[in-house]
Amino acid sequence: MTGRQASGPRCVALVGPYLGGKTTLLESLLAACGAIPRRGSIKDGTTVGDSAPAARARQMSVEMNIAHATFMDEAWTFVDCPGSIEFAHEAHAALMVADAAVVVTPPEAERAAMLGPVLKFLDDHAIPHVLFVNKIDVATTRLRDLLAAFQAVSTRPLALRQVPIRQGDTITGYVDLVSERAYRYHPGQPSDLIQLPADVKAREQEARGSLLETLADYDDKLLEQLLEDTAPPADVIYADLAKTFADDKLVPVLIGSAERDYGVRRLLKFLRHEVPSCAATAARLGLSPGDEPLAQIFKTRYVPHAGKLSFARIWRGAIADGATLGDGVHHARLASIGRPLGAQTSKLAKAEAGDVVALGKLEGLATGSWITPAARPPAELPAWPDAPKPLFSLAVNAEKRGDDVKLSGALHHLVEEDPSLVVEHDADTHELLLWGQGEVHVSIAADRLRTQHHVAVVTHPPRVPYKETIRKSVDQHARHKRQSGGHGQFADVTIKIEPLPRGGGFAFEDKIVGGAVPRNFIPAVEEGVRDFLKRGPLGFPVVDVKVTLHDGQYHDVDSSDMAFKTAGALGMREGMPKCDPVLLEPICKVAIDVPQEFTSNVQRILSSRRGRILGFDARAGWPGWDEVQAYLPQAEMHDLIVELRSVTMGVGGFDWRFDHLTEVTGKLADKIVAAANGDGKVPA
């Protein structure tokens, strides 16, 4: 290609479903660039990416892997993102600072749905992306059928840029549809140029024709040339391809095998020619041009020795080691600049526009912050994506009581490193809950508490905040009287206990006339009643009850706040069991989102979990997806996401909120009450 200017450092994120081969592709890209002497493997645990113990143990990316490389004298940062939807927030963070993305997919039409969520994010943010159909060495589905399946989950048209050359069932090379050159693959080595095989020619022509036709939708002049049957010049085609890619109008499709280094140099050359510069991306984000330094933190990590590292993209200007950087609120002096290659970093004296670097010890500055040496960042900067609503939780306890402070510090770091984790003190159950996107996500976070922060913790499923109420009224008299040595205790009350409508909470009314209970003792009666309500006859907090104090007696010497408080509680203890107590369970309103093909599975899951389906609709903004609304008992929600993911290829999700309490009776209620009281017996 002619007239191309060398670009500054660019950044590309590798995204796509779990097991598509992203981490393997990173390894292959780094080897092709000479950033590593030889490639490692996932199985042997020797890749640049996934060096964390949790990732090695599971052979699965649980965090982004960031690596610098140089290809044909140009600087690149590749960010390999975890593919599991449970880590989607991490992938989104990388995409927010990338000039383009490579969507790595396995060659399986039946798993195309797994691409939906990431393609949606890319299109919503107009991030240029190329589809890399990986594992072409073991592909069994025809490329044409693959493309149709992938097209069904992409809102942008796909544009095939290569056709495979086959020998029998095996793909042995490809023809590039623009240059019309044919290449033969060699495992672990660059491909070599070969004569275009005669039997591929017809298919190549057809595929090239449809590529040009697609391009002509965006270039009238090209359309004219095609209609007049004049061959369009290669530079026009390249320019159109680069433009439609950069504008997220077309999604180019390349093929290859990360494991065997097939098509990886072709991918690098594609990136070299078509990925927009950092300045172009900054313009896409709405940043004004200039030299005023501006960077953005997209990942925070705590590492042994170095402490806090903030991974940042430099959008404008240059930042030197030792500079003071801030977000307008917090400021910190930069302790180091490092160029990342997986877990390693090499020291730099300064970083320039386009670079992705690890900034040392930026205390107080969080992921998503715009940072600058100026007093404050410019106004009107694009917003960072919100963390997704948490879907799964475990209750966490320090094994040793003395570790509580250490645990809360460690949790604080965890959330800083991964803002899609949430720590909550449950006001009802008094448990410390660690929330995340799924079982793997939360379990890995709990493992980190043990391995990285050295806090021994135990985890268990969270308790359901059951409540209880009553169904009948009673008038209860209670007298507290004690004579012990000098001064006795005396208080006498009559209270009416009655149910309130659902959601009524608690009400206390004072209907004392004629000073039967002196004014100053009445709050003590209420206090005694409230104390009792913390644990009703079934063993749960009591709600939706009204207590009216309407009569009583007192003694000039022996009555006291303490005595009236005790009498209030006593009245409740004796009266409540007569009021037909009943268990209440929390019901949530859920909206479950899945590709349409899985909607019937969702209905099945909901009915097996005592859910009540309210209806379903097409999911707004998600072509091909449904949203099923239902009421679901909170007790059935703990592992809902686990089952939902298992029947939706991992892509299903839901939104939820507490909606109301409802009565539970019969065997189920007996079981819950017995379990909560630990003795297998319903308390009297």
Instruction: Give the residue, chosen from 171, 258, 547, 628, that forms a contact with ligand GDP under the rule CB under 6 A.
Output: 258
Q: Please select the residue that binds ligand GDP; options are 9, 11, 13, 21, rule is CB under 6 A.
A: 21
Length, in residues, of the chain: 684
Which stretch in 22-30, 169-177, 532-540, 600-608 sits in contact with Mg ion by CB under 5 A? 22-30
CA 109, CA 182: separation in Å to the nearest integer?
Answer: 26
How far is CA 589 from its chain centroid?
21
Q: Closest Cα to residue 454, out of 393, 395, 399, 394?
A: 399
Tell me the closest approach of the beta carbon of residue 649 to Mg ion, in angstroms. Answer: 17
Q: Are 18 and 38 in contact (CB under 8 A)?
A: no
Which of ligand GDP, Mg ion, none is residue 642 near (CB under 5 to 8 Å by kind)? none
- Least distance to ligand GDP, CB of residue 225, Å: 37
Q: How far is the CB of 83 from Mg ion (least distance, A)?
A: 6
Q: CA 521, CA 535: separation in Å to the nearest integer?
A: 23
State how far the Cα of 542 lies from the Cα of 202, in Å rounded to an integer: 78
CB of 310 to ligand GDP, least distance (A): 24
- In the block, tokens 């400021």 appear at 331
Cα–Cα dist 9/75, whole Å: 5
Question: How distant, in Å, are the alpha carbons of 47, 49, 178, 338 from that of 397?
Answer: 34, 32, 60, 36
Q: 19, 200, 337, 545: which one contacts ligand GDP (CB under 6 A)? A: 19
| Sign of the torsion formed by the C-alpha atoms of 629, 630, 634 and 640 | negative
23 binds ligand GDP (CB under 6 A): yes
CA distance 572 to 580: 13
C-beta of 198: minimal distance to ligand GDP in Å? Answer: 28
Nearer to Mg ion, 17 or 107 (CB): 17
* 222 vs 242: CA distance, rounded Å: 14
**Backbone dihedral angles phi then psi of residue 533, each to the nearest 5 degrees:** -65, -15
Closest to ligand GDP by CB, 91 or 319: 91
Query: Which listed range, 89-97, 256-264, 515-523, 551-559, lies at the site for ligand GDP (CB under 6 A)?
Result: 256-264
**SS3 call for 310:** strand
Q: Does 24 bind ligand GDP (CB under 6 A)?
A: yes
Among the listed residues 391, 393, 388, the one whose alpha carbon sits nearest the alpha carbon of residue 432: 393
Mask: binding to Mg ion, 27-66, rule CB under 5 A, as x and -? ----------------------------------x-----
Least Cβ distance, residue 463 to Mg ion (angstroms) = 35
- All residues at 6 or more sequence positions from 349 whose CB lies less than 8 Å from its CB, including other chains: 320, 321, 337
Alpha-carbon distance of 42 to 464, in angstroms, equals: 40
Residue 258 partner contact from ligand GDP, Mg ion, none using kind-dependent CB cut-offs of 5 to 8 Å: ligand GDP
Q: Which stretch binds ligand GDP (CB under 6 A): 18-26, 343-351, 427-435, 630-638?
A: 18-26
18 scored as a contact of ligand GDP (CB under 6 A): yes
Residues in contact with 301: Cβ distance below 8 Å, sequence separation at least 6, in sequence order: 63, 308, 309, 311, 417
23, 469, 489, 560: residue in contact with Mg ion (rule CB under 5 A): 23
Q: Which is nearer to Mg ion, 92 or 316 (CB)?
A: 92
Are the C-beta atoms of residues 196 and 181 closer than 8 Å to each other? yes
- Residue 134 binding target from ligand GDP, Mg ion, none, CB below 5 to 8 Å by type: ligand GDP
Q: Fill in the amino acid letter for 426.
A: D
Q: Is 146 in contact with 107 (CB distance < 8 Å)?
A: yes
Of 420 and 634, nearer to Mg ion (C-beta) is 420
CB nearer to Mg ion: pick between 63 and 176:
63
x-marked contacts with ligand GDP along 36-65 as a string, rule CB under 6 A:
------x------------------x----
Is 225 in a helix, a strand, or coil? Answer: helix
CB atoms within 10 A of CB 681: 9
CA-to-CA distance for 503 and 600, rounded, in angstroms?
34
Q: Are 158 and 143 in contact (CB under 8 A)?
A: no
Span interacting with ligand GDP, options 14-22, 215-223, 450-458, 576-584, rule CB under 6 A: 14-22
- From the CB of 352, what's the least distance to ligand GDP, in Å? 30
Show the binding pattern over residues 73-112: x = contacts ligand GDP (CB under 6 A), - = does not. Answer: ----------x--------------------x--------
User: Within positions 100 to 119, which residues make up the interface with Mg ion, using CB under 5 A?
Assistant: none
Single residue of 154, 162, 191, 257 touching ligand GDP by CB under 6 A = 257
Of 23 and 369, nearer to Mg ion (C-beta) is 23
Residue closest to ligand GDP when measured from CB atoms: 21
**Which residue, 81 or 512, is less far from ligand GDP as judged by CB?**
81
CB of 201 to ligand GDP, least distance (A): 27
Which of these, 641, 630, 656, 622, lies nearest to 113 by C-alpha position?
622
Which of 20, 539, 575, 586 binds ligand GDP (CB under 6 A)? It is 20
Cα gap 113→336, rounded to integer Å: 43
Rg (CA), the chain: 32
Residue 682 CB, nearest distance to ligand GDP (Å)?
Answer: 50
Contact set with Mg ion (CB under 5 A): 22-23, 61
Contact set with ligand GDP (CB under 6 A): 18-24, 42, 61, 83, 104, 134-135, 137-138, 257-259
